[in-house]
Amino acid sequence: MTLSFRPELNSAEEVVSSLSTQNKPKVTDEEMMQAVRTLLLGLGEDPDREGLKDTPKRVMKALQFLTKGYHESLDELLNGAVFTEDANEMVLVRDIDIFSSCEHHILPILGRAHVAYIPNGKVIGLSKVARICEMYARRLQVQERLTLQIADALQGLLKPQGVAVVVEASHMCMVMRGVQKPGSWTVTSAMRGVFAEDARTREEFMNLIRHKANFY
């Protein structure tokens, strides 16, 4: 397991700024489809045959959907669903399905996220926790960075007493190619605030998320 501790950011604005994606030059749909067509030719295929005629468009649409997180922001996602609440016990949303794409091979990463925080006067709509995971997962990713982004977003937005994130995932770049090890899975974690400082709080969280991982 990769365990990460990081100093707290000072404001939600800093979090949004630090995690935002810079604007890139616009590439047209036609250029993307032509790139897929070129790949098919490089594979020795005929992109004009019946079964592949619409493949460039389908691949482009699929990749746009799988990376839609680049075009989403925390402000739009939250839509004001941060509430003042006198709560100071752990809030845990576990077994959040994660579907991401490895930035090295653009192959699937399939797994689950477990996210907890201890409020400090503010709580977030429970579905928004899953949506934050989804926003960062729907990008080209490495699991380590995905885990940090989820933790830092919640820490910056809510300023809670602490945040804990564990992501468990199977990487198709290790299953379908390369070392070809089906059944292998990777665990990463990020601890902030009291979860980093207090071993008992961290242990409580880890006990609550223990289960047999099964991604098939």
Q: How confident is the model at residue 15, as a pLDDT?
A: 46
Residue 19 DSSP class: H
For residue 203, the enclosing domain spans 2-20+77-209
**Do 100 and 139 belong to one domain?**
yes
pLDDT band at 7 (very low <50, low <70, confident <90, very high): very low
In-domain check, residue 191: yes
Q: Kindly list the catalytic residues.
A: 102-105, 143, 171, 173
CATH number for 117: 3.30.1130.10
pLDDT in tens, 95-121: 999 999 999 999 999 999 999 999 999
pLDDT band at 12 (very low <50, low <70, confident <90, very high): very low
Residue 157, pLDDT > 90, answer yes
Percent of the chain with pLDDT over 70: 86
In-domain check, residue 216: no
In-domain check, residue 71: no
**Do 157 and 193 belong to one domain?**
yes
pLDDT in tens, 127-149: 999 999 999 999 999 999 999 99
Q: How confident is the model at residue 214, as a pLDDT?
A: 62
Closest CA to 107 of 175, 58, 60: 175
In-domain check, residue 177: yes
Handedness of CA 204, 7, 167, 116 (dihedral sign): positive
In-domain check, residue 214: no
Domain count, the chain: 2
- For residues 185 and 39, give the distance between their C-alpha atoms in angstroms, rounded to a whole number: 30
Alpha helices, DSSP H, located in the chain:
12-19, 29-42, 55-66, 74-78, 126-137, 143-158, 172-175, 194-197, 199-209
**Do 177 and 150 belong to one domain?**
yes
pLDDT in tens, 173-214: 888 888 777 888 899 999 999 999 999 999 999 999 986 656
Q: How confident is the model at residue 162, as a pLDDT?
A: 97
Mean pLDDT, the chain, whole residue set? 88
**Do 38 and 83 belong to one domain?**
no
